[in-house]
Amino acid sequence: MLEGERYNAEVHKALLVSGMQWGDEGKGKAVTNFSNDFEIIAKFNGGHNAGHQIILNGKSHKLHLLPVGCLYEHTINVLGHGMVIHLRSLLKEVDIMRENGIEVLDRLLISERAHLLMDAHIENDRKMENSRNENGGKIGTTLSGIGPCHATRSYRTGVTVGDMKHWDSFKNKVMEMYKMHATAENYETMGKAEIERHENFFKIFSKCICDTGFFIGEALRQGKRILFEGANGALLDIHTGTYPYVTSSVTLACGPYVGLGVPVGTPMFRIGIIKCYQTRVGLGPFPTEFFDENCAHIQSDGTEKGITTGRLRRCGWLDLVAARYVQRLNVYHALYMTKLDVLSGLKTLKVCVDYRDKGSGQLLERGRFPATVKMFEETEPVYKTFPGWEEDISSVKKYDELPKNARDYVEFVEQSLGVFIQWIGVGQDSESVIVR
């Protein structure tokens, strides 16, 4: 067993949980496992494009904007300024929670610096993706308006949540944004309709809007326990991911400092969520992707379908080249491996241990990762093969009770990454986890 630091709920008062792949690693389940230990659950990036499906006490919950902590009545839930917020979608989630007997509004804080995602952004997203499709450069976005909303932030023409506190100024900003960025000729009508909708949204959410950065800073100073929840995954980071097939925000472990205003230097225990195989939604490089019966097995047994889009996810073998790169960037203290049970029944397993140049045969240096799509096209994966196991492991509670081949697989991954795998998911329910 690899020696390393262990998460201790009594010691670690600030915890980061973030994904190591292209999203869909099972972060929601992981956050569910830790939420009881924390008073505040805070999201630092993403929008309504990302989704969690959590099975808690036998009941399924689908979340997009709301932190997983909203399922626990003792938590305060924070949406940070690194997010882009579609209030219509947020209200829908709040209403669904209320129908399930969970009241969220009195425990929800929304950053006044977060940007509002509006219909103009969604319209732009669809138009841009259609244009890319015609020119052969489709990205495969969720068409949720995320990229265009981040773009208006960078153009300095975006509208923030806090702008709603100054209504006359807010109306002018919305109309100006629609004039500059809406593609439809009836932008004035669309802008006025947007203002009407947000007048209602503001009445509902006004008490939630505050300086969340100050709130987080004060909470840390007072010694309160905070869990920082990341959306998407490290390989989708706008700066270091598989560009241009990435999201539009920071998804790395530095996210809480960037997207929540956590004081720089604040120590936090970092947990990386890694699925025991790779998946990806949309287009982009995927060196270990497969299309055979293994893909059908994983899509079926792993329920690999997007929460937001409903699209079947692309599937492939675990990529340790990508994982080493992410570990170099994020320096996780411990790992949480998910969906080990999905591999049950596969006779042979593969793990990508290196990338090899197709021309020269030279291996890519350990810790590096291709920076361009062209570089991916010039390399091929090098695999190590493992024997699989037939046993159903979904009811296993202790690590030593796993089949030897399953333990060998887990231990090879942690030895390769140099990080202890403290948790292993073996089923869909939040309780189906082995703690080592």
Residues recognised as catalytic: 24, 52
2 is in an annotated binding site: no
Q: Which of 256, 262, 161, 165 lies closest to 213 in space, CA to CA?
A: 262
Regarding beta strands 226-229 and 278-280, do their DSSP bridges make them parallel or antiparallel, or are they unpaired? unpaired
Q: Given CA atoms 413, 365, 370, 83 in this order, what sign does their dihedral have?
A: positive
Q: Which of 47, 5, 25, 52 lies closest to 322 in space, CA to CA?
A: 25
| Helical residues (DSSP H) of 76-145, grouped into ranges | 87-99, 119-134
Q: Which of 354, 336, 338 lies closest to 298 in space, CA to CA?
A: 338
426 is in an annotated binding site: yes
H/E element, 54: strand 52-56
316 is in an annotated binding site: no
427 is in an annotated binding site: yes
52 is in an annotated binding site: yes
Residue 310, phi-psi category: left (phi > 0), alpha (psi -120 to 50), beta (remainder): left
310 is in an annotated binding site: yes
25 is in an annotated binding site: yes
166 is in an annotated binding site: no
313 is in an annotated binding site: yes
309 is in an annotated binding site: yes
385 is in an annotated binding site: no
51 is in an annotated binding site: yes
CB 278 within 8 A of CB 22: yes
27 is in an annotated binding site: yes
- What percent of the residues of the chain are helix, what percent strand, and what percent coil, each to the nearest 5? 35, 20, 40
24 is in an annotated binding site: yes
Instruction: Report how far Cα 88 is from the mean position of its chain's Cα atoms.
Output: 21
What is the Cα–Cα distance from 225 to 352, expressed in whole angstroms?
38
Residue type present at position 370: P
Euclidean distance between the first and the last CA atom of the chain, given in angstroms as a whole number: 10
23 is in an annotated binding site: yes
283 is in an annotated binding site: no
| Helical residues (DSSP H) of 206-319, grouped into ranges | 212-221, 255-259, 293-301
Q: Which of 288, 269, 308 lies closest to 420 in space, CA to CA?
A: 269
Binding residue numbers for substrate:
307-313
Annotated binding site: 23-29, 49-52, 142, 156, 232, 247, 307-313, 339-341, 425-427
The annotation places the binding site for IMP at 24-27, 49-52, 142, 156, 232, 247, 311
Binding-site residue ranges for GTP: 23-29, 313, 339-341, 425-427
Indicate the annotated binding residues for Mg(2+). Answer: 24, 51
